[in-house]
Amino acid sequence: MSKMSDSFGRSFPYIRLSITDVCNFKCGYCLPNGYFKVENKPGFLNLDEISNLVAAFTELGVSKIRITGGEPTVRKDFFEVLKNIKSEHEISNLVITTNGYKLNEIAEELIATRINGINISIDSLDRNKFKEITGQDRLPQILEGINILQNKGFKNIKVNAVLLKNVNDSLEEFQNWERFINNNEIDFRYIELMQTGDNLEYFKKYHTSAFVFKKYIESQDWKEISRISDAGPSINYVHSKLKGKFGIIAPYSKDFCSTCNRLRITAKGELRLCLFGNTGTNLRPYLQNQNQKDELIELILKQLRFKKESHYLETGNTGMTPHLASIGG
Ligand code: SAM
Ligand code: SF4
């Protein structure tokens, strides 16, 4: 049971922890010109700092941690991060989000870390479109990686795509995904494109409501199912005759924030109460020593009182978030 709750009655059993801002893709909505190396001092949280952070959140009742980035798998000690969290802390649900660029090479090592799930971002099953959106011709390696994971019996693979107007919002694309999830028994979700500090032009050109996909799945007899407490923000659907689940993440929908159950930590140790908040709290000074845990817990609980009711994204507010690579999405 999470000991963290806010003034709006929401509780927080789920942390999204970014371990790097670096990414090797150039997704048009996120880092269209690629990652620019900036002065990186101090660097990203090290293994000890991550461990001290996770210890505090475990004590606060967090049961789910998602490791994200940038691209988390580019970090050299990526596997150590996962293994340490699994072996040193009682986190029942440790999952990652990745662009999967070398999933075929790392699938077996990933399984060995004993993580509980993986979200892979694939914006289209059409190789050319995939390349156009992400700037990388990596779809075959990702699909091969998924195959390896499945052949080894790894469960809980989810695929996410950002829904883009006139790019991947056609009937053909929807049907491709329907075949894919039925053949592979995988969950697939479309995320509605979000405006961030840097992507206004892209957003104006490509944003489309998740309603177009909702309309499709409801016409095909997919039925909405209910949500569990530490689940992500998607609305999920099952079909009586097909395998896999469809899902929709619609951040602009009414009430999206009322089910918020997660907090974010940036790769340099800032606590962010919202994906689009205006402030962050630097936890790093409290991560230097295991003995600082009580102070750290006190600070986190104090900050939670400032969590706002909504992201106010519909008013064009993007807070201090230039792109989602800076906060882990
Ligand atoms: N690099 C990893 C990846 O792409 O899976 C992890 C980090 S990425 C920021 C996390 C998720 O955010 C990805 O699924 C990505 O598609 C999504 N994302 C990035 N920018 C977005 C935006 N402007 N709107 C909606 N989703 C976005
Ligand atoms: Fe990189 Fe993920 Fe952003 Fe794409 S969405 S540029 S893979 S961080």
Q: Which amino acid does the sequence have at 197?
A: G
Radius of gyration of the chain from its Cα atoms, rounded to whole angstroms:
19
Ligand 2 pocket (Cβ < 6 Å) reads 23, 25, 27, 30-31, 69-71, 99, 121, 325
For residue 233, the enclosing domain spans: 14-326
Which of these, 283, 313, 253, lies nearest to 42 by C-alpha position? 283
Question: Is 45 a member of any domain?
Answer: yes
Question: Is 9 a member of any domain?
Answer: no
295-320 pLDDT tens trace: 999 999 999 988 888 888 888 888 88
Report how far Cα 78 is from the mean position of its chain's Cα atoms. 16
Spatial CB neighbours of 153, under 8 Å, sequence gap ≥ 6: none
Contact assessment for residue 283 and residue 301, using Cβ atoms and an 8 Å cutoff: no
User: Which-ligand-closest: CA of 196?
Assistant: 1
Determine the residue of 22, 133, 191 to mutate for testing ligand 1's pocket, defined as the one with the most ligand atoms within 8 A of the Cβ atom.
Answer: 191
Question: Is 8 a member of any domain?
Answer: no
Report the pLDDT value the prediction gives residue 229, as an integer from 0 to 100.
66
- Sort strands 187-192 and 93-98 into parallel, antiparallel or unpaired: unpaired
Q: What is the CATH number of the domain that holds 257?
A: 3.20.20.70
Question: Is 2 a member of any domain?
Answer: no
Q: Which two tokens stand for residue 125?
A: 């099953």
Determine the residue of 97, 103, 202 to mutate for testing ligand 1's pocket, defined as the one with the most ligand atoms within 8 A of the Cβ atom.
Answer: 97
34-77 pLDDT tens trace: 999 877 888 999 999 999 999 999 999 999 999 999 999 999 99
Question: Is 5 a member of any domain?
Answer: no
What's the pTM value of the predicted model, to 2 decimals?
0.96
Question: Is 239 a member of any domain?
Answer: yes
The mean pLDDT of 181-199, rounded to a whole number, is: 95
Question: Is 1 a member of any domain?
Answer: no
Ligand 1 pocket, residue 30 CB under 6 Å: yes
240-268 pLDDT tens trace: 999 999 999 988 887 788 889 999 999 99
- Residue of the CA atom closest to atom 4 of ligand 2: 27
Ligand 1 centroid to Cα of residue 121, in Å, is 7
Q: Please tell me the total count of domains within the chain.
A: 1
Question: Atom of ligand 1 at shortest distance to CA of 100?
Answer: 5
